[in-house]
Amino acid sequence: MDFILLVLNSFTLLLDPFNLTYVILGFVIGTVFAAIPGLTATLAMALLLPVTYALNVETALMASASIYMAGMTGGSITAITINIPGAPSSMMTALDGYPMQQQGKGARALGHAALGSMIGGAVGALLLIAVAPFVAEVSLLVKTTGKFSLLAFAIIVVVIAQRGHIAQAGLAACIGLMLATVGLDAMEPITRFTYGFSNLTAGIDLMPVIIGTFAIAEVLVQAVSSNDIRAATAAAGKVRISRREFLPPLSDIRKIGFGCYIKSCLIGYFVGTLPGAGGSMGSFLAYTEAVRTSSEPETFGKGNPKGIAASESANNAVCGGAMVPMLTFGIPGDPITAIMLGVLIINGIQPGPQLMTDQAALIAPMLATLLFSAAVLIPLTLYLLGPYFIRIVSVRKDVLYAVIALLAVVGSYVATYSTFQMFVALGMGILAFYLRRNGFPVITMLLGYILGPNLEEFLRRSLALSNGDPTTFFTNPDSLFFVLLTLVFIYFLVIRKPSRRAEAAPGL
């Protein structure tokens, strides 16, 4: 209850013009990046990471929260209007949004997407505010052995979630773990894998890893593929949207039903709590559930607003869900929460069970912003900027990527004023580029890199405490719980065949 009151009090921080400016700026930047095919809100966050040095932690986290929420919403703009999802989480939105656009109901489809996003984002944020303190209290019960099993669970789930690409995901996780072992050992005064570079003694810094993985790699990816934005720019020129048509009619909302919104929100929220699942899986599951329970499943994929509502409610509810493991256990649910974790680490705050109790005052404004972004900024942005949204994609690609590259390279210099970090960022960019090009999930690598140090430390501590007895992982109840949970996930994600219903969704 205290935490809920703290969150409510934090709304006063949004009245501060400085904070509000960053929140609104973050939301607009997140929307623009999510709307442009090829750019993502993750990239926006990566580019803005160096800026957090100049901001206080609360403001940086508030801006991050608004970028996150905007990122989940913005992708629907191009998904609906030109059938090119600006973000992967909006793929399902395109299935019904674009047919509505073709029927001359594009503005209404955007209205449905905004309403779904607003409900999903708000419900996700409210659930997070209500649930996170309890999860944090429970997480305090998890001891060293359990912490190792939990981190191992997170990495294993992220790997096996890549159905059909498990070996690639496993290798990507190993690369991340390798990067995590560079530098001084956590328990003994020994340096590892530095190969004579004194700059590596403290390990590979988080900032160049994030900037390289998301920003520089993106510039390289876009340098070799020039089609997306040209096609989008050409299509964008033909789309006309009127502000009056944004409001979804009550009859449509009734037809979609309150139950569909809430069910999709819950699906999105719980999917968000799983490491590595993200908005795409949330919207996919909510969409297939909407199709399954619909009395007219044949209308999906042909312009049914229920499809848009389910997809958008779920992907925005993911924001709240993904923050639960990030705030309580220090395990990021997706790339954006991984960068948020970076914001905390860069500012000397250690994420984990104590965070919600010891640093609640820092976290509460971020959660308040998440709710504010969903409930206020999503509809407001649509109304004020909606008619101009589609022109976002017309921005010049050459200028855009030159700006991104400049901000990325200079941004990686900011942390230590050393060109070495710039080279690290370039190296990470090249690595991430080739990983992506060859079908490796880079989020798995990032998760391995972020969780690696703790994974190793807890493994060694657990075995030291048990005098080298590995059965300690099965005899401690907290550890056993996560071991069993891992087995359950392996059963559902690896052994059991995917359901026919999921395969039967339109467009898949």
Partner 1 sequence: MLLNRPVVFLYVILAVSVGYFISALSLGAPISESGLTPSFFPILVGGAAIFFCSILIVQKLRAGPEAIQADAQRNYTHFWVVVAIFFYIVAFKPIGYFISSGVFVFALIVLVSSFEKLLQKAVISAVIVVIAYVMFQELFGVRLPTLWG
Residue 192 DSSP SS3:
strand
Let me know: does 333 contact 322? Beta carbons within 8 Å. yes
Q: Taking Cα atoms as reference points, which of 458, 486, 418, 406 lies closest to residue 146? A: 458
Backbone angles phi, psi at 413, to 5 degrees: -80, -25
Nearer CB in complex with partner 1: 389/401: 401
Interface map 48-77 toward partner 1 (x if CB under 8 A):
--xx-xx-----------------------
Q: What DSSP line would sit under 150-191, residue for residue?
A: HHHHHHHHHHHTSTT-HHHHHHHHHHHHHHHTSEE-SSSS-E
When the beta carbons of 441 and 506 are compared against partner 1, the nearer one is 441
| HSE-up (13 A, CA, CB side) for residue 182 | 22
Contact range with partner 1 by CB under 8 A, out of 127-135, 213-221, 277-285, 312-320: 213-221
- Going from the C-alpha of 29 to that of each of 25, 47, 61, 438, the distances in angstroms are 6, 11, 15, 30
Are 27 and 60 in contact by the 8 Å Cβ rule? The answer is no
Stretch 273-312 residues interacting with partner 1 (CB under 8 A): none
Under rule CB under 8 A, residue 395 binds partner 1: no
Minimum distance of partner 1 from residue 103's CB (angstroms): 36
Considering the rule CB under 8 A, would residue 267 count as an interface residue with partner 1?
A: no
Span of 75-83, 173-181, 266-274, 322-330 interacting with partner 1 by CB under 8 A: 173-181
Cβ proximity of 158 and 274 under 8 Å? no
Interaction between residue 436 and partner 1 (CB under 8 A):
no
Select 122 or 346, whichever has its Cβ closest to partner 1: 346
Residue 37 binds to partner 1 (criterion: CB under 8 A) = no
Q: Which of 91, 216, 346, 370 binds partner 1 (CB under 8 A)?
A: 216
Kindly state whether residue 202 participates in binding partner 1, applying the rule CB under 8 A: no
DSSP-derived 3-state class of residue 349? coil
C-beta of 167 vs 384, nearer to partner 1: 167
Q: At what angle do helices 2-10 and 106-139 cross, to 10 degrees?
A: 140
Q: Which residues pair with 192 in a beta bridge?
A: 183
Residue 92 makes CB contacts below 8 A (sequence gap 6+) with 283, 284, 286, 287, 307, 310, 311
- Of 247 and 465, nearer to partner 1 (C-beta) is 465
What's the min distance (Å) between Cβ of 163 and partner 1?
Answer: 15
Residue 415 to residues 46, 208, 271, 430, Cα–Cα distance (Å): 13, 9, 34, 20
- Total residues interacting with partner 1, rule: CB under 8 A: 60
Q: Which of 14, 51 has the CB closer to partner 1?
A: 51
Q: Binding segment for partner 1 among 2-10, 299-307, 452-460, 486-494 (CB under 8 A)?
A: 452-460
Q: 100 to 139, contacts with partner 1 by CB under 8 A?
A: none
Cβ-based nearer residue to partner 1, 163 or 292 = 163
Q: What does the binding site for partner 1 look like in residue numbers (CB under 8 A)? A: 50-51, 53-54, 167-168, 170-171, 174-175, 177-178, 181, 185, 187-188, 190, 192-193, 216, 219-226, 396-399, 401-403, 405-407, 409-410, 413-414, 417, 419, 422-423, 426, 429-430, 433-434, 437-438, 455-456, 459-460, 463-464, 468
